[in-house]
Structure 1
């Protein structure tokens, strides 16, 4: 029911962990905001891959801190 409600909304904010993010498929995601940097490039690619699918454009924003200096 939650997924059906999300799909029916014109504007929606969904907050998810990496685990939850892998298990959901929400159409028409236009923006992904990463509160922190993923631990691996594979996880980062998966996170930002939630936007801009099926030929549509999308934006990904990632907040970095001093702890992410090695990225």
Structure 2
């Protein structure tokens, strides 16, 4: 239900876990913010791959302690 509401522009911020990093194809995501560092490069690639799809410009920010 939350993903559907996001796709229907009922809100413009989506907070998600790593479950959203793979398999979800949601258009027009402009920013991905990683609150923590992924465990490996592959996980990082999948997380930031939610933005900047196709020829679109996207931004990723990762907090590292």
Instruction: Report the TM-score, using the length of structure 1 for normalisation.
Output: 0.79
Greater Rg by CA = 1
Which residue of the partner structure matches residue 24 of structure 1?
24
1:37 and 2:37 aligned: yes
In structure 2, runs of 5+ residues without a counterpart are none
User: After the TM superposition, which of the residue ranges 8-17 and 27-36 deviates more from structure 2?
Assistant: 8-17
Higher helix content, 1 or 2? 1
RMSD, aligned CA: 1.7
> Unpaired segments of 5 or more residues in structure 1?
66-71
SS in 2 for 1:24: coil
Give distance in 2, aligned partners of 1:15 and 1:62. Answer: 14
Q: CA separation in 2, counterparts of 1:17 and 1:10?
A: 20
- Give CA deviations for 1:23-58 in whole Å, capped at 9, x if unaligned: 422110000000010000000011001100021000
